[in-house]
Amino acid sequence: MTLDIATRNDSASTEPTISDLNERDIRALTEYMSVLEDIGQVRGADGMYLVVTQREYTVDLVEGTCQQKNGDICPDQKYNLGLNEECKHVKRARYATGQLSIPAEVDESAIDPQLGDHVTHVADEE
């Protein structure tokens, strides 16, 4: 998948840049996913989120893991990722909560407009 989400490149910044984004980051920012923190088994669980796409995934941001509703590991995480790599569901939860910063040069119109709508942002907790 190639999606042009870059609008400019300011090399003077210390913030993340568009070149820091990989395909999973792009999917996490642009695909329609809901990240929920106060529902079902994730209600009241620190660092746990329900990420809803066509399926439901339980994401643990402390461990960086993702499980399908039936308890199976996210197929991308199970078959395609190495240690310390994260699937788009984990990345989406990190972007939605503000744990990952969106590079300034990303075209905001390409980002899912509901990103972060249903969660408490890290900055809001400080």
Average pLDDT of 49-54?
Answer: 96
Summarised one tens digit per residue, pLDDT across range 107-126 is 888 999 999 999 987 655 55
Which of these ranges, 16-20, 61-65, 82-86, 97-101, has the smallest mean pLDDT? 16-20
Q: Is residue 104 included in any domain, yes or no?
A: yes
Q: Tell me the pLDDT of the chain averaged across its residues.
A: 86
For the chain, report the end-to-end CA distance as a whole number of angstroms. Answer: 36
Q: Is residue 10 included in any domain, yes or no?
A: no
Q: Is residue 4 included in any domain, yes or no?
A: no
CB atoms within 10 A of CB 108: 12
Q: pLDDT band at 19, cuts 50/70/90?
A: low
Domain enclosing residue 62, as ranges: 18-121
Contact (Cβ atoms closer than 8 angstroms) between residue 96 and residue 119:
yes
Summarised one tens digit per residue, pLDDT across range 83-104 is 889 999 999 999 999 999 998 8
Q: Is residue 86 included in any domain, yes or no?
A: yes
Q: Is residue 13 included in any domain, yes or no?
A: no
**pLDDT value of position 15:** 58
Q: How many residues does the chain have?
A: 126
Cβ neighbours of residue 24 closer than 8 Å, sequence gap 6 or more: 76, 86, 87, 88, 91
Q: Is residue 99 included in any domain, yes or no?
A: yes
Q: Is the pLDDT of residue 13 over 60?
A: no
Q: Is residue 8 included in any domain, yes or no?
A: no
Best CA proximity match to 40, nearest among 30, 51, 25: 51
Q: Is 26 exposed, middle or buried (0-12, 13-18, 19+ CB in 10 A)?
A: buried
State the total domains in the chain. Answer: 1
Q: Is residue 52 included in any domain, yes or no?
A: yes
